Chain A
Amino acid sequence: MSKKINVTVEGAVKVKDIPLGFTAQPGTTKNFKTGDWRSARPVLDREKCVYCGFCYIYCPDGVYQDMGAEEKYYKADLDYCKGCGVCAQECPKKCIQMVVEEV
């Protein structure tokens, strides 16, 4: 009878898959895309941008990439940006707008 009662948990790891000492390989965050958490995305006005790097420094998730001396701006990786808006808040030129995502 009791066999028919399902007590397993969806998504639970298997005991045999627990690594010795419950460790993890580094860099696994890369596989965990958090972009879909976002309700608003940062949109940069490159005309006003002075390439100061505040967005890059302040971003709590490190999603901004330096596009280099030629391009002279930082680009948010939208696969990971959670839409917190810290970049827009800290931008000294107020050139980042948080634009609501269309669902």
Chain B
Amino acid sequence: MKAADSAKPVGIEVSLAIAEAVKLAEAEVVAAYPITPQTHIVEHLSDLVANGELNAEYVPVESEQSAMSACMGSSAAGARTFTATSSQGLIYMAEMVFIAPMMRLPIVMAVANRAISAPLNIWNDHSDVMSIRDCGWIQIFAENGQEATDMSIISFRIAEDKNVMMPVILNLDGFTLSHFIEPILFPEQDKVRQYLPPYVTDHKLDVKKPMSMGLLGGPEYFTEAKKAANDALLASKPYVTKAFDEFAKIFGRQYKLVESYRTEDAETIIVSMGSISETAMVAVDEMRAAGEKVGLVRLRLWRPFPVEELRAAIGGAKYLAVVDRHFTPGFPEGPVATEIRALMYHEENRPRISNFLLGLGGRDVPRNHFQYIVERAKEIGSTGRQGHFEMVGVNE
């Protein structure tokens, strides 16, 4: 039986939909600083708080560094805590971002992905979140507005799970997702409460049961503390799946760690993350109609990396066209490709992997880019070459 929601879809900007979802999740503290293209999320949340629609403390801090500090404080006090940022804001916040998972504070942060300066650029790519890739948070990439909305609720459920207790970054492409008007089905409040009960924890600062947080960890502690946190991050994967599955039971929308689209018998597979995957699906349809054996694999969960799920999704494909939205200066390819290549290296029948940099700094990614990268992945892969990296469309 599918317990789909009865509500009618609403045409709403995705940023506002996320804010509405945070309201449905009944966040208790929002501490944030505005930055394009994230601003609409927290602007709308501050409206909701000011209008009395969301019973939360909105802390208008003076910087992102303070935003995350305030979030850590409120989460350490046991409050359900949300923030959002982008680009320069995220890297200004970075110092604090790395601390939150070590303190096991279940904060949820939306990142409207945007390029990092210079040159100054307000448009979409993944260089902001990739620059803090190793921060230790659970990291999810949303594909469309419905997913970004649902994930805003699911992320709290994952983060606050007693077996997880980790902060979650919800990535959504700046502008190309955050600023789209799309049809959104909003979950009903009482069902959200059923799915996401109030956050109750012993892991908090309490005058009646005092404890110290944010301690020094000398050489005899540091390695073990890092391993303990990493073990927890790796161990969170089944609980992410569980949170997805239970969301499906109540709301009828099923999410997986890795999504496959028309990969059965695929010779070439595109691997991507984020909203351009939707355009990629259209491109796959068109290529399939022309007889091309091509499919798409999309990583929804980026950290912890869904190793087995990705391997299974890739199956016996001969060629992979891995999309990166960020590259590693001084290294021959982008981070997503590097990781997938490393994971596939020990496979007996590993595919030929080519890496393509798309949509840097807001450059539009039309469907013919996907047709192009599939052609190139086949062309280069069939020569047996590994390690191809290409900035698609660069005007040299």
Chain A contacts to B: CB under 8 angstroms? 9, 11-18, 20-26
Which of B56-64, B133-141, B214-222 binds A?
A: B214-222
Asked if A24 and B212 make an inter-chain contact with CB atoms under 8 angstroms apart, the answer reads yes
Asked if A24 and B203 make an inter-chain contact with CB atoms under 8 angstroms apart, the answer reads no
Asked if A21 and B212 make an inter-chain contact with CB atoms under 8 angstroms apart, the answer reads no
Asked if B219 and A22 make an inter-chain contact with CB atoms under 8 angstroms apart, the answer reads no
- Inter-chain contacts of B157 with A (CB < 8 A): none
- A90 CA to B223 CA in the complex, in Å? 43
Other A-B contacts than A22-B229, A23-B212, 5 sampled, CB-CB below 8 A, are: A12-B220, A17-B224, A23-B203, A25-B211, A26-B211
- Answer whether residue B228 sits at the interface, using C-beta atoms and an 8 A cutoff: yes
* Shortest Cβ distance from A25 into B: residue: B211
- Answer whether residue B290 sits at the interface, using C-beta atoms and an 8 A cutoff: no
Question: Which secondary structure dominates where chain B touches chain A?
Answer: loop
- Choose one: A11, A12, A17, A24; the contact of B211 (CB below 8 Å): A24
- Choose one: B203, B213, B224; the contact of A18 (CB below 8 Å): B224
- A33 CA to B173 CA in the complex, in Å? 55
- A22 CA to B218 CA in the complex, in Å? 12
**A41 nearest CB across to chain B (Å):** 28
- Answer whether residue B225 sits at the interface, using C-beta atoms and an 8 A cutoff: yes
- Answer whether residue B231 sits at the interface, using C-beta atoms and an 8 A cutoff: yes
**B213 nearest CB across to chain A (Å):** 5
- Answer whether residue B373 sits at the interface, using C-beta atoms and an 8 A cutoff: no
Chain A to chain B: the 8 pairs with minimum beta-carbon distance, closest first: A21-B104, A18-B228, A24-B212, A26-B210, A12-B220, A21-B103, A15-B224, A23-B211
**B289 nearest CB across to chain A (Å):** 53
25 pairs, A vs B, C-beta closer than 8 Å: A9-B219, A9-B220, A11-B220, A13-B221, A14-B224, A16-B228, A17-B224, A18-B225, A18-B228, A20-B104, A20-B203, A21-B102, A22-B102, A22-B103, A22-B225, A23-B103, A23-B203, A23-B213, A23-B215, A24-B211, A24-B212, A25-B211, A25-B212, A26-B210, A26-B212
* Shortest Cβ distance from A18 into B: residue: B228
- A25 CA to B231 CA in the complex, in Å? 23
- Inter-chain contacts of B280 with A (CB < 8 A): none
Question: Which secondary structure dominates where chain A touches chain B?
Answer: loop
- A15 CA to B223 CA in the complex, in Å? 9
Chain B contacts to A: CB under 8 angstroms? 102-105, 165, 203, 210-213, 215, 217, 219-221, 223-225, 227-229, 231
- Inter-chain contacts of B212 with A (CB < 8 A): 23-26
Asked if A22 and B165 make an inter-chain contact with CB atoms under 8 angstroms apart, the answer reads no
* Shortest Cβ distance from A26 into B: residue: B210
* Shortest Cβ distance from A20 into B: residue: B104
Asked if A13 and B215 make an inter-chain contact with CB atoms under 8 angstroms apart, the answer reads no
**A22 nearest CB across to chain B (Å):** 5
Knowing A15-B227, A26-B210 are in contact, say whether A21-B165 is a contact too (CB < 8 A).
Answer: yes
Asked if A24 and B215 make an inter-chain contact with CB atoms under 8 angstroms apart, the answer reads yes
- Choose one: A9, A15, A17, A22; the contact of B215 (CB below 8 Å): A22
**A66 nearest CB across to chain B (Å):** 24
- Inter-chain contacts of B224 with A (CB < 8 A): 12-15, 17-18
**A27 nearest CB across to chain B (Å):** 8
- Inter-chain contacts of A22 with B (CB < 8 A): 102-103, 213, 215, 217, 221, 225, 228-229
- Inter-chain contacts of B229 with A (CB < 8 A): 22
Knowing A20-B165, A23-B213, A23-B215 are in contact, say whether A13-B102 is a contact too (CB < 8 A).
Answer: no
- Inter-chain contacts of A24 with B (CB < 8 A): 211-212, 215
- Inter-chain contacts of B213 with A (CB < 8 A): 21-23
Asked if A13 and B103 make an inter-chain contact with CB atoms under 8 angstroms apart, the answer reads no
- Inter-chain contacts of B203 with A (CB < 8 A): 20-21, 23
Which of B219, B225, B228 has the most chain A CB atoms closer than 10 A to its own CB?
B228
- A14 CA to B212 CA in the complex, in Å? 19
- A31 CA to B292 CA in the complex, in Å? 71
- A11 CA to B103 CA in the complex, in Å? 23
